[in-house]
């Protein structure tokens, strides 16, 4: 069985902050430590299992950058195991990787509180497996249906899942309740496997807190992979001054290929 994953990764500092604390993992590529605050762009194609992730560091100044870099670097050493793990063993393999990243941050941080979120997709022959810790998100567009795959691990998010909703005028509490590197490590949350072809967006809260679901859905539906990633970053970096890290991939195998791909485009041009 042949299948293709088309992916794009973008990172931009934005206009509000002096440093970018985000990092990413796109099929083996991470943001290098010497990138500084320069923007980053990557487009690629994978013809087999692949892993993608976004890491949003916290801790201020260089501490957050170091934490997210360690999470991405640790994933580079674990990605092959995640790509090849049988479905029943994949969650344990992810948990083992997260424990290693947690220990690496704590050893590096010493007296500094430093941590990172994680949103991770492992695309394998058994489907798309999604995991997260913190408030970095994964969205999915499949057969016209668009939804937020992941939960936000924040005080507000946890309260809402327990049935408590904020009162009118009450300010939402966005403090993280799960992350890598700070305090006791809490379990990674795993989500139902997504089968077949779809489009994914993996992003930090720098994007998701500024862009509503409908705007994201419209861009993913109307634009091919690199253009959608470019528009998401450029629009909200320039309009709102947000820092943005986006890793976006498309699993284009099967009868639900997108119309801009070669064969569907060729057939549609003949028909019309």
pLDDT digits (tens, 9 = 90+) for 163-221: 887 777 777 788 999 999 998 999 999 999 999 889 999 988 877 877 788 888 887 88
Q: What is the pLDDT of residue 242?
A: 54
Q: What is the pLDDT of residue 206?
A: 76
pLDDT in tens, 51-63: 999 999 987 656 8
Of 11-15, 110-114, 118-122, give the lowest mean pLDDT range: 11-15
In the chain, the percentage of residues whose pLDDT exceeds 70 is 76
Mean pLDDT, the chain, as a whole number?
82
Other Cβ atoms closer than 10 A to 134: 25
The predicted model gives 1-19 an average pLDDT of 73
In this prediction, residue 8 has a pLDDT band, given cuts at 50, 70 and 90, of confident
Q: What would the 3-class secondary structure string for the chain be? A: CCCCEEEEEEEECCCCCCCCCEEEEECCEECCHHHCCCCEEEEEEECCCEEEEEEEEECCHHHHHHHHHHHHHHHHHHHHHHHHCCHHHHHHHHHHHHHHHHHHHHHHHCCCCCEECEEEEEEECCEEEEEEECCCEEEEEECCEEEECCCCCEHHHHHHHCCCCCCCCCCCCCCECCCECCCCCCCCEECCCECCCEEEEEECHHHHCCCCHHHHHHHHHHCCHHHHHHHHHHHHHHHHCCCEEEEEEEECCCCCCCCCCHHHHHHHHHHC
């Amino acid at each position: 069985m042949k299948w293709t994953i088309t992916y794009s990764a973008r990172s931009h500092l934005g206009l509000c902050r002096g440093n970018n604390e985000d990092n990413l993992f796109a099929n083996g590529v991470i943001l290098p430590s010497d990138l500084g605050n320069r923007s980053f762009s990557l487009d690629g194609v994978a013809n087999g299992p692949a892993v993608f992730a976004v890491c949003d560091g916290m801790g201020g100044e260089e501490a957050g950058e170091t934490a997210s870099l360690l999470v991405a670097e640790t994933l580079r050493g674990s990605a092959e195991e995640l790509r090849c793990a049988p479905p029943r063993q994949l969650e344990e393999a992810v948990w083992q990787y997260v424990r290693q990243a947690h220990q690496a941050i704590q050893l590096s941080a010493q007296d500094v509180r430093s941590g990172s979120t994680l949103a991770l997709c492992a695309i394998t022959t058994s489907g798309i497996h999604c995991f997260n810790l913190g408030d970095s998100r994964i969205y999915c567009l499949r057969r016209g249906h668009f939804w937020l795959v992941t939960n936000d691990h924040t005080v507000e998010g946890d309260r809402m899942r327990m049935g408590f909703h904020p009162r009118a005028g009450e300010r939402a509490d966005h403090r993280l309740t799960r992350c890598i590197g700070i305090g006791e490590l809490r379990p990674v949350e795993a989500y139902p496997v997504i089968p077949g072809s779809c489009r994914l967006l993996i992003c930090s809260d720098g994007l998701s807190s500024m862009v509503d679901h409908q705007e994201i859905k419209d861009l993913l539906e109307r634009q091919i992979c690199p253009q959608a990633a470019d528009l998401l970053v450029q629009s909200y970096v320039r309009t709102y001054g947000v820092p943005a890290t986006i890793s976006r991939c498309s699993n284009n195998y099967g009868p639900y290929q997108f119309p801009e791909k070669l064969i569907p485009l060729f057939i549609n041009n003949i028909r019309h």
